[in-house]
Copies of this chain bind each other. A is one copy, B any other.
Amino acid sequence: MSITSTAAGPTTREAIAASARTMFAERGFTATSVRAIAAAAGADPALVIRHFGSKEQLFLEVLGPTRAPGPELEGPLAELGRTLVAYVLDPARDAERRAYATMVQASDNEAVRATLRTAARTSFIDRLTARLPGADAAVRAELIGAQIGGLMQAWPTIEPLLGAVGRARAVDLYGASVQALVDGSH
């Protein structure tokens, strides 16, 4: 019944990763036990640790930042705020937003916190700093990072409230707000 990595079926490792991804996303890091992940995957608890090193590393591997290219920052400066917010609120990136929120809620853990911080810097803040005109670009990029982080975290709460307003209006509103920091006027 065992399947090698070259065959078509899922390996035990992949079954564990799939269970872990679902359960971490649904119940959070703390409430999801290694034993529960193993049971859902039809595997032994010890195998979870053997394959992934620790519960923490498994969490980061299945929910951590992907190698996605990150938001497009090369467009016109005058629309950068809107572009950023549209990227973040893109319906296609729903899973990414949820994973981010799950990680923030588990950032009690130092490795999780470090992963979040590094991902934000390399895929976003550093590139944004280089792109921003005017004075205090680094500080303004960090402040924009705070805005975007706040939006990603709050979105699951805000989205159901939208009703007739619509996502596009939210993109307009928040985009204009981010744009104020892009411009950085006095």
Contacts and interface: CB of A to CB of B under 8 A. Distances in A.
Interface in A150-186: 150-151, 153-155, 157-158, 161-162, 165, 169-170, 172-174, 176-181, 184-186
Contacts of A106: 105, 108
A35 interface: no
Interface in A130-168: 136, 138-140, 142-143, 145-151, 153-155, 157-158, 161-162, 165
Given A30-B109, A108-B28, A176-B185, A154 B165 contact: no
B177 A181 contact: yes
Interface string A95-133: 000000000111111000100010000000000000000
A113 to B, nearest CB: 7
Contact of A174 (B28, B108, B181): B181
Contacts of A150: 146-151, 153
Q: Is the interface of A mostly helix, strand, loop or mixed?
A: helix
The copy count of this chain in the complex is 2
A150 B106 CA distance: 16
28 contacts: A29-B108, A30-B30, A30-B108, A104-B105, A105-B108, A106-B108, A136-B169, A138-B161, A139-B158, A139-B161, A139-B165, A139-B169, A140-B173, A142-B154, A142-B157, A143-B154, A146-B147, A146-B154, A146-B155, A146-B158, A148-B150, A149-B150, A149-B154, A150-B153, A173-B180, A177-B177, A177-B180, A177-B181
Interface of A: 28-31, 104-109, 113, 117, 136, 138-140, 142-143, 145-151, 153-155, 157-158, 161-162, 165, 169-170, 172-174, 176-181, 184-186
